[in-house]
Amino acid sequence: MDIRRQSGGWATAIGALIVAACVATPILVVAGFMFIPATEIWSHLIDTVLWRYFSNTAFMMVAVSFLVLSIGVGAAWFVTMYEFPGRKIFTWALFLPLAMPAYIIAYTYTGMFDFAGPVQTFLRETFDWGRQDYWFPQVRSVGGAALMFGLVLYPYVYMVSRAAFLEQSVAALEVGRTLGRSPFRVFIEIALPLARPAIVTGLALALMETLADFGTVQYFAVDTFTTGIYRTWLGLGEPAAAAQLAGVLMAFVFFLVMLERRYRGKKKFYHTGSRYQEIRRVKLPPLKSLAVFVGCFLPVFFGFLLPVMWLLSKSFLYPETVLNSEFPALLTSSLSVAVAASFIALVVAIFLVFAQRQAASAVVSKIRYFCIRTAAMGYAIPGPVLAVGILIPFGFIDNSVDHFMRESFGVSTGLILSGTMVALIFAYVVRFLAISLNTVEASAEKITPNMERAAQTMGVTGLKALFRVHIPIMSGSVLTALLLVFVDVLKELPATLIMRPFGFETLAVRAYELASDERLAEAAGPSISIVLAGIIPVIILSRAISRSRPGSK
């Protein structure tokens, strides 16, 4: 979107600065705590748990990166470029684990594979084993947590990778084949570099979700920076030290983003060919087809089918958790906030990406870039910490307005923002803006300056070019961003617990309340509802992504 000569460039840039500053305010508030002395608590953390926080977090990031990249990129390439039995089903089935909350799958696998679960019980009864007679992998461990994250987060990489592969030009791939490149070398040397911005986007989202998760690691008793933040803030009563731990998370994620962008430098990943014809998929021989089928089936089975079957079997024991008068209200409230937050986050992301490419001075460009990158950091902050960053400025605004109204008119306004749907939706937008922003930004990379100039010669400039040229080209990625935020809001728990208005409940809140009381069988009903509510948009939008390829019918 290199629109360099638009008269409205400055106005758009200033608008982007204002929007980005508003979204970044909670993050800056949390970061401000880092300058408050944390007394001797930091010495205690360094001497006792800080190294464990770091090592466990680093291990999970490496393990999750390996899982989501190998599953997501590999599956996206095979379902896009090859023909094998079940391919059409896998194009949307591989999305399904995205609808499964990480803490729900953690409860589920613990119930199935823990010592008292049906699997180990069956082994002991069948082979007459005692506790010391066999070894079984420990589910509640740092490795188990990494596996849970990998199973439910690989769709982030799969979705953006598949959209990138669909949007690539056939010409570039055919040139590689005519030069004697094997299919593997075409993938490694041509397709993968072209899709790298999208793949890195999906990986960054998965890693930020891993860093920010609390429910899974807390239930598995794994010490990470996130659990440390909760314990330090809520347990030890040290908000400054907790915010400093959160600042370490933000700095680490910011470093990863900056490292990737520095490595990318000024290189542009344009799809240089102009031939966007229908992809001619290669038909795999029987043995390879079986291997690819199994490779695509296992993530769907372990990340979705097996947990769902277990939850369904338990939900039949407590049908009243779904068949009651409260369930329609829970479903309606969950869907309404998810739709509102996903749409607002998408609009803000498109506007920021569009404004980021407008002409401005070097100083304004750097300030704008910093604000936009800071606004995207909310995804790496745990929900309760982010909620505190929102409640502080909102409380200040409420108190200031109330004081002014009391002094001027003798009327108390009470809480205008805090504890309202406005605050809750704002929390969702701040929390998940990175998803929309990174997805839209990666897709914008393929819009060449020649496309911009061609539109300008026809008088299509400014916002008109955005709606008539850019958004149609990026339609697949735009739908992907919308879907990702929608499903994530359905699953969001910590921020909802703190920011929700009085009496407002969602399916995620109800499932958590039951599961935290170890009433997992009763929590199965709301959990299944979250999954079902996310399945329909997953299937519809995955089909839309399939049709988003330029030149497709």
Residue 282 belongs to what H/E stretch?
Answer: strand 282-283
CA 92 to chain centre: 18
**Which of the 8 DSSP states describes residue 3?**
B
The one-digit pLDDT tens for each residue of the chain (553 residues) are: 444 444 445 666 677 778 878 888 887 887 777 777 766 777 778 888 888 988 998 899 999 999 999 999 999 989 988 888 988 889 888 988 887 888 888 888 888 888 877 888 888 888 888 877 788 888 889 999 999 999 999 998 998 888 777 766 555 565 556 655 666 667 766 677 777 877 887 888 788 788 878 778 888 888 888 888 777 776 777 767 777 777 777 677 667 666 656 655 544 544 444 445 566 777 888 899 999 999 999 999 999 999 988 888 877 776 766 666 677 888 888 889 999 999 999 998 888 887 776 655 666 677 767 777 777 777 767 776 777 788 888 888 888 888 888 888 888 777 788 878 888 999 999 888 888 887 787 777 667 666 666 666 766 666 676 666 667 777 777 877 888 788 888 888 778 877 888 888 888 888 777 777 767 667 777 777 787 777 776 666 666 666 655 545 4
DSSP structural state of residue 100:
S
For residue 95, give its domain range: 9-264+324-546
Q: Is residue 317 part of a domain?
A: no
Which of 243, 224, 221, 223 shows the shortest CA–CA distance to 233? 243
- Would you say 387 and 496 are in contact if contact means Cβ atoms under 8 Å apart? no
Return the DSSP state at 140: S
Does residue 145 belong to any structural domain of this protein? yes
Asked whether residue 202 is assigned to any structural domain, the reply reads: yes
Which residue's entry shows tokens 């090859």?
82
- Amino acid sitting at position 392: I
CA distance readout (Å), 147 to 141, 198, 228, 334 = 10, 23, 21, 27
Q: Which residues contact 48 (CB under 8 A, 6 or more apart)?
A: none
In a domain, 283, yes or no: no
Tell me whether residue 293 is in a domain: no
Contact of 491 with 101, CB cutoff 8 Å:
yes
Q: Is residue 297 part of a domain?
A: no
Q: What is the CATH number of the domain that holds 445?
A: 1.10.3720.10
DSSP label at residue 284: P
Phi-psi region of 415 (alpha: psi -120 to 50; beta: other; left: phi over 0): beta
Q: Residue 332 domain-assigned? A: yes
CA-CA distances (angstroms) from residue 289 to 173, 284, 543? 22, 5, 23
Distance CA 191, CA 164 (A): 9
Domain tally, the chain: 1
* pTM recorded for the entire structure: 0.77
Q: Has residue 541 been placed in a domain?
A: yes
User: Which of 376, 350, 392, 373 lies closest to 479, judged by CA?
Assistant: 350
